[in-house]
Amino acid sequence: MNPLVIYVFTGSCVSLFVWSTVSIYHETVSVDFRKEREERFVGNFLWSLIHPFVQLVAYAIGKVPTRASTRAPLAGWGDTVVALFDALRARCRDLILNAGKGGAMTPDELMATVVVGGALGSAIGSLMYVQVPHWAVYGLFAGTGLILPLVYLGEAARQRQFQIRKALPYSMDLLTLSVEAGLDFTAAVERIVEKQHKNALAQEWSLLLREVRMGKTRSQALKDMARRANLDEVRSLCSAIVQADELGASLAPTLRIQSEQLREKRSVRGETLAQKAPVKVMLALIAFIFPTVVLIIFSPMVIKTFRLP
């Protein structure tokens, strides 16, 4: 392809993006961009650069109505578009909550981050296409820009689940002992928040206390906690506590049973990892150490064999 076409296409995209940004900016001067947040999404220089563009694109995406806000069916493709954006918002909300970034980003901002990342990757891909004229290069940079925010959230969610799973058995033991000692559930959770470090599970307990104090029922707060954690252990614990509340049963025996089950699951998980360790070590030996040993043993023989007289 002619490089002039690439330059014209890139310049047109940049000009259109700048014009759209300025137009939206004049419409959103009075919009509160929520400078005070509970936490930052990505505290680096790149995020500081693209954050204003993300906010503006998120404002444009927010103009798309939700199904709850539309009283009458929309004509044409309107209903399909609204349903699609509702599904995307629900999925993005789950990703944000699982990563523990609920106070730092909205679903519209996540979709805007994907759009801005794709535009930035496309721009870099266009410049690289001039040097390496192959569409795979352009697709690589554009695809990387699109999926990078999602990859970041997925990795943050996995790290957060690991922290919750690691801290949950000790937290359950402390909660069980506190309830058996005579404290109610709320006071026992407060004791956990005081004793534990600022890990992901302590943040979840603290958020649960905050929601209960703001008027949400304990059952609904526990269900929201299970949804944010997205772990089978947390779902089982929250379901057991909710069921005990609904049936009027004593909470201490329920917590004791859950604590014992968590310890058993931790032991089984440790045994499983221990059984997988020899296989992983064998793969490392075959891939790295065995070729080196073969090279050290046979290289002198090969050198002597092919040495010229």
Q: Which of 53-57, 81-85, 240-244 has the highest mean pLDDT?
A: 240-244
pLDDT of residue 37: 46
* Residues 6 or more apart in contact with residue 83 via CB below 8 angstroms: 67
Whether the per-residue pLDDT at 67 is higher than 70: the answer is: no
Average pLDDT over residues 2-23: 57
Percent of the chain with pLDDT over 70: 80
Interaxial angle between packed helices 135-180 and 185-195, expressed in degrees from 0 to 180 and rounded to the nearest 10: 120
Q: Which range (69-73, 160-164, 167-171, 259-263) has the least confidence? A: 69-73
Angle made by CA atoms 88, 90, 96, in degrees to the nearest 5: 100
Q: Give the span between the Cα atoms of 175 and 222, in whole angstroms.
A: 15
Average pLDDT over residues 104-121: 87
Whether the per-residue pLDDT at 168 is higher than 80: the answer is: yes
> What 8-state DSSP symbol labels residue 198?
S
Average pLDDT over residues 125-140: 81
pLDDT of residue 222: 92
> Structure tokens of 43?
């505290």
pLDDT of residue 158: 92
**Domain range list for the chain:** 3-26+41-133, 163-266
Q: Which range (6-15, 90-99, 151-160, 251-260) has the least confidence? A: 6-15
Q: Give the span between the Cα atoms of 71 and 195, in whole angstroms.
A: 49
Q: Give the span between the Cα atoms of 119 and 139, in whole angstroms.
A: 12
190 and 206 in contact (C-beta within 8 Å)? no
Whether the per-residue pLDDT at 64 is higher than 80: the answer is: no
pLDDT of residue 159: 92
0.75 surpassed by pTM: no
Helix then strand then coil, in percent of the chain rounded to 5, is 80, 0, 20
61 and 111 in contact (C-beta within 8 Å)? yes
> What 8-state DSSP symbol labels residue 74?
P
Whether the per-residue pLDDT at 39 is higher than 50: the answer is: no
Interaxial angle between packed helices 107-131 and 135-180, expressed in degrees from 0 to 180 and rounded to the nearest 10: 150
DSSP string over 3-54: HHHHHHHHHHHHHHHHHHHHHHHHHSTT-----S-SS-S--SHHHHHHHHHH
Percent of the chain with pLDDT over 90: 9
Say how far residue 84 (Cα) sits from the centre of its chain. 21
What confidence tens digit (pLDDT) does each residue in 191-248 have?
888 887 778 898 899 999 999 989 889 899 999 999 999 898 899 999 999 998 888 8
Average pLDDT over residues 64-90: 73
111 and 95 in contact (C-beta within 8 Å)? no
pLDDT of residue 40: 45
Whether the per-residue pLDDT at 125 is higher than 80: the answer is: yes
Average pLDDT, the chain: 80
